[in-house]
Amino acid sequence: MRATGRRPCIRFRPPSASTTRRCGCGPTTIRSGHGCCFGAPLLSRDAGIEDAERLEEALDALLAVGDKERAGEAELLLAQSYWLAGRHDLFDEHSDRAFALLADAPPSGASAHALMRRGTRAYFVGDAANAVELVTQARSLAEELGWEDGVSQASMHVGMARVHLGDAGGLEDIDRSIELASATGVLTTLSRAYNTRAVAWQVLGDLDSAYEARLEGARIAERVGGETSIRWFVGVLIDHHYRRGEWDESRRMADEFLARVEGGEAHYAAWQDWFVRAEMRLAIGDVAGALDDAKKALELARAVEDPQAVYFALGGCAHVFALAGERERALSLARELIDALARGVDVQFAVINFPHFAAAARELGLSEELLSAVAERRSTPWVEEVRAYASGDYAGAAEILRQTGSKPEEAEARLRAAEQMVGEGRRAEADEQLQQALAFYRSVGASAYVGECEALLVASA
C-alpha cells in the first residue's frame, strides 16, 4: 500500500457538552439499573484527560454499590486518560487499582481487558515477550466469551508486540484486528487498529504504508467525532508530514497542537512533536527556538518514562544539541543511548530516529562506538542505515532512507555523501548527490541547509 497524497481533514474540536458535563451518577442511579452516563460497554470507549473527572465520579458511584467489575473498567479508562496526558505515575496507579478490583472476578470482558492492559503495560516498559503472553491469554478469554471486539483489541496488541520481537508476522494479527473491528462496526477499535498498523510499518521501515494506515485511522476518528481520538491523530501525523517533506503542514499542525499543550492541555505525543519542530527550526537557522523545543521534548520524554519516548528523545535531541553547538550536552545524551543499544535494550518505535542519531554520532566523533553498539542487533532498514552511515557509506545510507520514505534524513545523508565524494575528487557523483539534497532543502525552505549545499557547490566547482 503506497501513499496517494490524500490527507484527512484533521482539526481540533472543542469538547462537546456531552464530554464536559459532570457525571451526576450517584449510587441510586446505578442501583436502579440505569448504569452511568458513560453507558455500556465502557471497554470500547476512548478516554482522554477531559473525561477524568466524570470517570472519578462514576468510579465512586460504582464502588458505593459494590460493582467491582464496572469499577475496574472505569479504573482502566482512567489509566488510559492519564497515559494520554503523559502522566505515567497516575497511569500505573489506576492500572494497579483496576487489576486489584478484577483479580478475583469471574471470566468477563472486564477481566479480559485487564489482562490486555497488563500486557500493553509490559510492552511499554520494554518486555514484549511478556506482553505477547498476557495479551494472547486475553484474546483466548475474549474468544471463549464470544466478545469479538475484545478479540480485535487483543489481536492488535499481540501483533504490535510480535513486530517488536522481530516477527513481521505480527502484521497478520493487526490485519485480523482490522477485519474484526470492521465486521463488528466498533469504530473506536477500528481507528486504534489502523493506528497500530501505522506504528508497525514505521518500525518495519515503510513510512508510506504507515502514513496510509494513519490517514485511515484519522478518517475513522473524524467519523466517530471524539476529541480524544482526533487529537491523538493530529499529534502523530505531525511527524509523518515532517518525514514526508510536507513541512508547512507539519509546522502549522505542530504550532497549533503544542500551543494547547503549553496552555495546559498535556498530551503524551508532545515529546515527539517538540522534537520535530526543533528539527524544522534548526533547518531555518532558529537555533534558540530549536534548543527550547529540544529541551521540552527531552524533559517530557523522561517524565513519561516509556522506552519509546526516552530513546526517541535521546537520539533526536543529541542531534539538535550537536548541531546547535551544545556539544557536551549532546555527548551525554549520545553516550546514554549508545550504552542502552549496546545492552540490547528494545527501543521500540524510537528506531525511526536512528538516522538522526547516526548523524549526531558522526558530528560527535562517536560513529565507531555506535557501530559497535548495533553490531548484534537484528537487521532492519533502520539498523542497516546506521551501519552504512556510521561506516562512512553515506550514499548507501541515503538509498536505504529513500526506500523507507524518510526524506529529511535522506537529504542529510546525500549531503554527507557529496562532501565525501568532493574530497575524493569524484565531482560528477558528488554533484548528483548534492543536487538531490539541495532540491529537498529548497522544497521545504530549509535555508540553513540550502546555504551549506550551495557553499559545497562553490567549493566543488
pLDDT of residue 23 exceeding 90 = no
pLDDT category, 42, cuts 50, 70, 90? very low
Query: What does DSSP assign to residue 50?
Result: G
Contact 448, 283 (CB under 8 A): yes
For residue 68, count CB atoms less than 10 angstroms from its CB and return exposed for 0-12, middle for 13-18, buried for 19 or more: middle
Task: Examine the pLDDT at 310 and tell me if it is beyond 80.
Answer: yes
For residues 439 and 460, which has the higher predicted lDDT (pLDDT)? 439
Confidence at 50, pLDDT banded by 50, 70, 90: low
Residue 298 confidence class, pLDDT cut points 50, 70, 90 = very high
* Predicted pLDDT of residue 129: 87
Alpha-carbon span 445 to 451, nearest angstrom: 11
pLDDT digits (tens, 9 = 90+) for 113-126: 888 888 888 887 87
Q: What is the pLDDT of residue 64?
A: 86
Greatest mean pLDDT among 94-98, 105-109, 188-192 lies in 188-192
Residue pair 50/85 in contact (Cβ under 8 Å)? The answer is no
Which residue would you say has higher pLDDT here, 47 or 4? 47
pLDDT of residue 7: 34
- In this prediction, residue 97 carries a pLDDT of 84
- Confidence at 136, pLDDT banded by 50, 70, 90: very high
In the DSSP assignment, the letter for residue 21 is S
Residue 17 has pLDDT above 70, yes or no: no
What is the C-alpha separation between 110 and 141, in angstroms, rounded?
A: 11
pLDDT tens digits for range 237-263: 999 999 999 999 999 999 999 999 999
- Domains belonging to the chain, first-starting first, are 15-105 (no CATH), 118-225 (1.25.40.10), 411-461 (no CATH)
More confident residue, 178 or 66: 178
Please provide residue 288's backbone torsions phi and psi, each rounded to the nearest 5 degrees: -60, -45
pLDDT value at position 131? 87
pLDDT of 31 above 80:
no
* 189 or 121, greater pLDDT: 189
Which of 11-15, 99-103, 120-124, 200-204 is the least confident region? 11-15
Cα-based distances in Å from 29 to 26, 43, 64, 461:
5, 20, 11, 81
Question: 0.95 exceeded by the pTM?
Answer: no
pLDDT for residue 45: 54
**What average pLDDT does this structure show over 59-87?**
80
C-alpha pair distances (Å), 254 with each of 196, 237, 249, 269, 284: 22, 9, 8, 11, 16
Average pLDDT of 323-335?
98
pLDDT at 103: 80
Q: What's residue 1's pLDDT?
A: 34
CB 251 within 8 A of CB 284: no
State residue 48's pLDDT score.
58
Q: Are 123 and 157 in contact (CB under 8 A)?
A: yes
Residue 131 near residue 123, CB atoms below 8 Å: yes
pLDDT for position 458: 85
Q: How far apart are CA 447 and CA 445, in angstroms?
A: 6
Q: Which residues contact 145 (CB under 8 A, 6 or more apart)?
A: 107, 108, 109, 112
- Per the prediction, the chain carries an average pLDDT of 87
